[in-house]
Amino acid sequence: MRPTRLLVLLIVPAIALLLLACDRGSREDEAAATADWSHYGGDEGGQRHSPLAQITPENVAGLEVAWTYHTGDLLDGSSANAAKKASTHASTSFQNTPILVDRTLYLCTPFNRVIALDPETGAEKWTFDPKVDLEGLYLLNCRGVTAWTDARAEAGAYCQKRIFTGTVDGRLIALDAATGRPCPEFGKNGVVDLREGVGDPKPGEYGVTSPPVVLRDRLITGSMVLDNRRVDAPSGVVRAYSARTGERLWAWNALPSGEQTDQAGPYRQGTSNAWSAFSTDSVRDLVFVPTGNSSPDYFGGHREGLDDYSSSVVALDGETGKPVWHFQTVHHDIWDYDIGAQPVAFDFPTKDGVRPGVLAPTKMGHLFFLDRVTGRPLFPVEERAVPRGAVPEEGPLSPTQPFPVRPRPLHPGTLSADEAFGFTPWDRRACRKQIEAARSEGIFTPPSTQGTIQYPGMVGGMNWGSLSVDAGRRLAIVNNQRIATYIRMVPRAEYDAMVEEAGGAPTFGFEPQEGTPYALERRPLLSPGLGAPCNPPPWGTLAAIDLASGDVVWEVPLGNSRGLAPWPIWWMLGDIGVPNLGGPITTASGLTFIGATTDGYLRAFRTESGEELWRAHLPAAAHATPMTYQLEPEGRQFVVVAAGGHMLLGSAPGDALVAFALPD
């Protein structure tokens, strides 16, 4: 063979491969320059990560408000409640994370109105009002909606593309994505009644606050069941429906292991519900369900195994609804340590390649790394001895609870009187007395008639905001709250006397727990003067966890005490870390965005180091998780967050959806 011919045979394929690689690279770059946000958690696994890189650590300081949309759905606990027939203490909390599908932004309001917006201008395209019944409700929210495209339907046909939403009064609704009108072939005129078979819910006791998930053509949802009302609370059953017709396909009720679940209902009451967001693995046909407590939360003497699946991550078979595996984070939970966070699917890096994993953030500040296929821990988990001595009627508690060895707990496990905090010496003394008068023996101290300091508190730890996974940097970013709770088991006779004296239900902060020997007193542990948390700061943190080692790479205080302390105290204290609810998102450029804090800011951090790079003050505190998108390669990247406040954190309600972008 002549040398020139040999050279051609060697060079031409090499050039072809190089051109192919360049073409592939240009397509990947273009894909990275545009991105939607098609699921509540960004993707089906809930990673809350975007491939976008227009906004970078170098230019993020130039972000400005691009548009603001006000929903008008606002309730602040004033006399307007009477007109809405809501609870005396009712308030809205706009916790929504919108989704972006087919160049339209979809969101829901605390009154369950569904709204479609132009994503670049914020202009309204359509709205749908389900006219929810607010009677008995005291905290109104809707965290998100779900999109689905019917592959069998003709392109552009009515309801070929659908938006699904659950309502606080217990309905599942299908809407045409283009017009916002109900899909008549779904259920009854677009509606499925979720209250069927769950046990005669009382007003405000049963509904849906988190978006359903779609696994192929199955629409799967859990429900919110109001805490601490009664032993025979509505069933926490999880159900799957046909996304086309609304026909019920399967039901899973958290009954003791080995007992059969009645597919058709009526479903056994008092079972663990699943009120937070689910995630899915469509390759393995799995849905990951974070479960709550069996009813009521703080007493379990009657359960007799009914909490086998409580406070767990449960992997259900998407076709049948049968449990494939489950991992319990708290045994016989009597602390309201239900899993509020969406389980997050991720690839666990090992020296032999990646393993499919699931991250389970908890209210205890424990982060469990689990195998996605088997549910077994990827890092060691130890059963450690915990305090004993519950009220006599409770019966024996679990002598141990599971603690992850890695990552280390992100929340302190003890609170002593010597650690009492206060902005003034008087406040500090008052906090110290409260702690000294109660049982405070560390995490998992049982509820008592004496009074118990619950630390971590009832809100966490990590809650429904979940976490974000930046796989390229092998980091999980998670925010954490540190606010102690005071709880007391109130003997039934004492509680009944309080009710009689008050001429009805006692003051806010007492819960009946009907069917048990005790009612419950529950409140945040705050100083009586300035209302500051009695435990020392930081009251909120943001941390990065190495996905391969489980090590905490960095941890910083999240937020300042603006709104918690008077001027100039909050200014002098700086960023001490404050109460927060909501979650982070990450981007390929190396940014972490998070609102969540009571001080009302949206912030951007450098993902690799935790350095704060930018902040913007919002119309209200953003107790919601942001999202981001870019429609065109030459267009602008937007970061959008709901600024809606939260009654339980003391931040005023709001109704603003705010979009940020770099200057046009």
Q: Which two tokens stand for residue 336?
A: 């309201």
Q: Which two tokens stand for residue 653?
A: 């309600």
| Cα distances (Å, whole numbers) of residue 165 to 120, 142, 157, 466, 629 | 23, 9, 20, 20, 22
The answer to whether residues 572 and 374 touch, using CB atoms and an 8 Å cutoff, is: no
For residues 519 and 513, give the distance between their C-alpha atoms in angstroms, rounded to a whole number.
5
Q: Of residues 36, 176, 336, 338, which has the active-site annotation?
A: 336
At residue 660, the 3 state secondary structure works out as: strand
For residues 88 and 302, give the distance between their C-alpha atoms in angstroms, rounded to a whole number.
31
Question: Nearest 5°: CA angle at 44, between 38 and 48?
Answer: 70
What phi and psi, each to the nearest 5 degrees, are found at residue 454? -95, 115
The answer to whether residues 504 and 571 touch, using CB atoms and an 8 Å cutoff, is: no
Question: Nearest 5°: CA angle at 513, between 508 and 518?
Answer: 100
DSSP per-residue codes, 78-117: STHHHHHT--TT-EE------EEETTEEEEE-TT--EEEE
The answer to whether residues 183 and 175 touch, using CB atoms and an 8 Å cutoff, is: yes
Contacts for 249 with CB less than 8 Å, ≥ 6 apart: 218, 240, 241, 242, 321
For residues 451 and 435, give the distance between their C-alpha atoms in angstroms, rounded to a whole number.
9
Question: Nearest 5°: CA angle at 289, between 286 and 290?
Answer: 150
Residue 336 bears catalytic tag: yes
Place of tokens 């969101």: 107
- Interstrand relation of 452-454 and 552-557 (parallel, antiparallel or unpaired): unpaired
Return the active site residues.
336
